[in-house]
Amino acid sequence: MRILIVDDETLARDRLRRMLESDGRHEIIGDVGTGLEALRISEDLRPDLVLLDIRMPGMDGIETARHFLGQKDSPAVVFCTAFEEHAIKAFELQAVGYLLKPVRKEHLIAALDKSTRLNRLQLASLHGVDETRRAHICARTYKGVELVNVSDIRYLRADQKYVSVRHAGGEVIIDETLRELEKEFADIFLRIHRNALVAKHHILGLEKSVSGQIGVRLNDIEETVDISRRHLPGVRKVIRRL
């Protein structure tokens, strides 16, 4: 089995590596300290399984696992956690692999033997344990894996099967639906058109073009985003409350 180790603590990664090497049945293809590094390396090396720390700065293990699900051949995941016993029970009930820190070798080997590929239902259940949601949008570009912080996004625009994500530093394309994004980030983005959502906290105001089209002016970008007649009254109401 080809294994990737992901933990922000070097000592924890080294400990897992030593235990796996002493077992001799698995190949360690790498060890990294962040979720972003894990996503990037897994795109190229295609691990069979990831030993994934949950509590990491920036993007935590649960969000990283969500992005793994978007890969063509998503790896099996065994979480490493320091959760209390009642939280461990939630993992057991959903048959998600876990290791309680500090990891013991016999527990590690047992978890590898029982590991299965993570599915969306299992991952959704973990939000009852760790009440978080994505803080980043994951895009695959010619540069490789790019993560865009949700707080940096100005607007989301649907174009046929894809969604354009316009952020402070540029634009990326993602393979998600506008409806799914609106549901997940309902408190952050405002629907202004059947094909567009804008970030509420980046709205500067409304602007009318020479043709009479009304659009939303947003922080740090030159273009405005058109508002449909249907959504204009609701948009005006929201802006008055901002």
Distance CA 115, CA 31 (A): 19
DSSP letter for each residue of 154-201? EEEEEETTEEEEEETTEEEEES--HHHHHHHTTTTEEEEETTEEEEGG
Report how far apart, in Å, the C-alpha atoms of 74 and of each of 47, 48, 57, 58, 117 are: 8, 8, 23, 22, 7
The pLDDT mean for the chain works out to 87
What pLDDT score does 198 carry?
98
Higher local confidence (pLDDT), 120 or 138: 138
**Averaged pLDDT, 36-65:** 90
Residues 76 and 106 placed together within one structural domain of the fold = yes
Residues 41 and 60 placed together within one structural domain of the fold = yes
**Of 11-15, 77-81, 139-143, the least confident:** 139-143
Total domains, the chain:
2
Domain residues for the domain of 219 are 136-241
What pLDDT score does 137 carry?
93
Is the sign of the CA dihedral 58, 61, 63, 65 positive or negative? positive
Q: Which two tokens stand for residue 101?
A: 């820190």
**Of 39-43, 84-88, 232-236, the least confident:** 84-88
* Res 87 pLDDT > 90: no
What pLDDT score does 190 carry?
97
What pLDDT score does 100 carry?
85
* Res 93 pLDDT > 50: no
What pLDDT score does 62 carry?
83
Residues 93 and 209 placed together within one structural domain of the fold = no
Residues 83 and 23 placed together within one structural domain of the fold = yes
What CATH number does the domain containing 197 carry?
2.40.50.1020
Question: Domain boundary residue among 108, 128, 148?
Answer: 128
For 183-217, write each residue's pLDDT tens digit: 999 999 999 999 999 999 999 999 999 999 999 99
Check residue 143 and report its DSSP letter: T
For 114-134, write each residue's pLDDT tens digit: 776 666 656 655 555 444 568
Residues 163 and 124 placed together within one structural domain of the fold = no
DSSP letter for each residue of 114-126? H--B--HHHHHHG
With 0.85 as the threshold, say if the pTM is over it. no
